[in-house]
Amino acid sequence: MTELELKYGCNPNQKPARIFMEEGELPLTVLNGRPGYINFMDALNSWQLVRALKQAVGLPAAASFKHVSPAGAALGLPLTDVERQIYFPPEGELSPIACAYVRARGADRLCSFGDWAALSDVCDASAARCLAAEVSDGVIAPGYTQEALDILKAKRKGGYNIIQIDPSYTPAPVERRNIFGITFEQGYNSLDINEALLDNIVTQNKELPQQAKNDMLLALITLKYTQSNSVCYVKDGQAIGVGAGQQSRIHCTRLAGNKADIWWLRQHPKVLELPFVPGIRRPDRDNAIDLYISDDAPALLQDGAWEGIFTQCPQLLTQLEKQTWIARHLDGVTLGSDAFFPFGDNIERAHQSGVKYIVQPGGSIRDDQVISTCDKYQMVMAFTGVRLFHH
């Protein structure tokens, strides 16, 4: 048996703590830092996500995890000029795996504050520079270049957590966990998520382009490693809103939809032109943008909450401007759900955030109502027949 002693468990009072394997060697190595219990939970869940995404789509993938759910996940596609403005990556050319992390982190920069990062490919210097610029707890990857290690080991006064995992590792077919002294056992969820799951299109509109298929696979794989109930909004190879751990499906859809709307509002011309003071810290800039977009912006401005943030008083976005920007410009979004939609209200909410493609298990007694609501908006919906609960 091999083991790694941890400082403590989920909380400082939960001691002793360790990770171990009863047979064989641990498939991971800590190259730097001292990862904790929750760090390892984030690391192992996020690694499974990016590994599956790379296998399904064939592109480098990255995820940004917080509290055992993804704040973002993305494919390694080149950044647009607007994405460079709203994600604040380092200057210069970025490698595909670096682009993947920048896009994953950029989906919800507030929730990604202090994240755990996962990379499907070897971490190169380009990706390391992106990680070094952010407030992050650690990273897991199948390997690191020496230059990347040198960059990351200098982060957090030398304490940044770096884990290398064996990409060939396959878990045992049965997994166990203890709750309240009682052992639970189940088969490992080895479900292969691929395009064959998307064949059952149940709506009148059956036009499903390859980009939408990739986005559906990204949504499903993200959901497979998100605390349930959960839904995921995706656009152009990037999760733009994840609603995790809610007790009702509509609350998941609203939560994730609101995040998708915020992601899109960050691209509004007024936001891109905000007059920040020179040298502002990245978290302060992220918080200011979030507040500027929020409905509380007028009151905050009156209270002087943004003193020292802007060089001059910004012109606020009106509610009409927000609604118009989302309604007229946000389109082609994919929505995935880890279980069936019980009512058409989820589709109505999805429509408000530009959703055109939906993938879900199906199986509700009101499937006809859900399909009818999709048909009203000429959406394309596929039933997978597969539930993706994760706890």
C-alpha span between 31 and 92 (Å, rounded) = 27
Is 66 noted as a catalytic residue in this protein? yes
List beta partners, residue 183.
178
- Cα(107)–Cα(286) distance, integer angstroms: 12
Q: Which residue has the tokens 């360790």?
A: 18
First to last CA, the chain: 26
User: Which of 67, 251, 270, 322 is labelled catalytic?
Assistant: 67
Name the E strands within the chain.
2-6, 17-21, 28-32, 61-66, 69-75, 115-119, 136-141, 161-165, 174-179, 182-187, 230-234, 239-244, 333-337, 355-360, 380-383
Beta pairing partners, 182: 179
Tokens for 204, please give them. 């009148």
Q: Which of 39, 161, 229, 346 is catalytic?
A: 229
User: 261 with 235: CB under 8 angstroms?
Assistant: no
Q: Is 329 a catalytic residue?
A: no
Q: Is 391 assigned a catalytic role? A: yes
Burial group, residue 363, by CB count within 10 angstroms (0-12, 13-18, 19+): middle
Q: Which of 54, 66, 224, 356 is catalytic?
A: 66
Separation of alpha carbons 391 and 383, rounded Å: 22
Active site residues: 66-67, 229, 391
